[in-house]
């Protein structure tokens, strides 16, 4: 059993100039937004969910990316609306957002 019901890792890696990376696509700001939003919704309490920064998840060409454990579901996203959808559908209601899912590694 996982300590958290959902553990979310956002790639925020910064690569050298000219190389695709999640940091170039506002990943840190959207990770910060997700953390704030889960706190506003009370999803950070009692082992419900945890939002973390990850180093390179090695999928920058598909980025920005995040992964939700324990299922190991990979997502890409563009904006706050996508993050809201992941939080509301997956973290609150247990329903992955298929339109944002990436194929498993």
Instruction: For 63-89, write each residue's pLDDT tens digit.
Output: 899 999 999 999 999 999 999 999 999
* d(C-alpha 87, C-alpha 97), whole Å: 10
Model pLDDT, residue 32: 97
CA 52 to chain CA centroid, Å, is 8
* φ and ψ of 31, to 5 deg: -65, -45
Pair 77, 38: CB distance under 8 Å: no
Q: Does domain 6-100 have CATH number 3.40.50.720?
A: no
Q: What pTM value is reported for the model? A: 0.93
| Nearest alpha-carbon partner for 85 in 69, 71, 99 | 99
Pair 73, 67: CB distance under 8 Å: yes
Instruction: For 39-55, write each residue's pLDDT tens digit.
Output: 999 999 888 999 999 98
What are the extents of the domains in the chain? Answer: 6-100
1 pLDDT more than 70: no
């Amino acid at each position: 059993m996982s300590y958290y019901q959902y553990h979310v890792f956002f790639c925020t890696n910064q690569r050298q100039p000219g190389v695709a990376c999640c940091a170039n696509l506002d990943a840190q700001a959207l990770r910060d937004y997700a953390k704030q939003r889960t706190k506003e919704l009370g999803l950070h309490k009692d082992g419900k969910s945890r939002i973390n920064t990850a180093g390179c998840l090695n999928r920058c060409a598909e980025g920005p990316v995040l992964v939700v454990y324990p299922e190991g579901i990979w997502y890409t996203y563009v904006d706050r609306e996508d993050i809201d959808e992941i939080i509301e559908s997956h973290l609150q209601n247990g329903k992955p957002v298929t339109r944002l899912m990436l194929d498993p590694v």
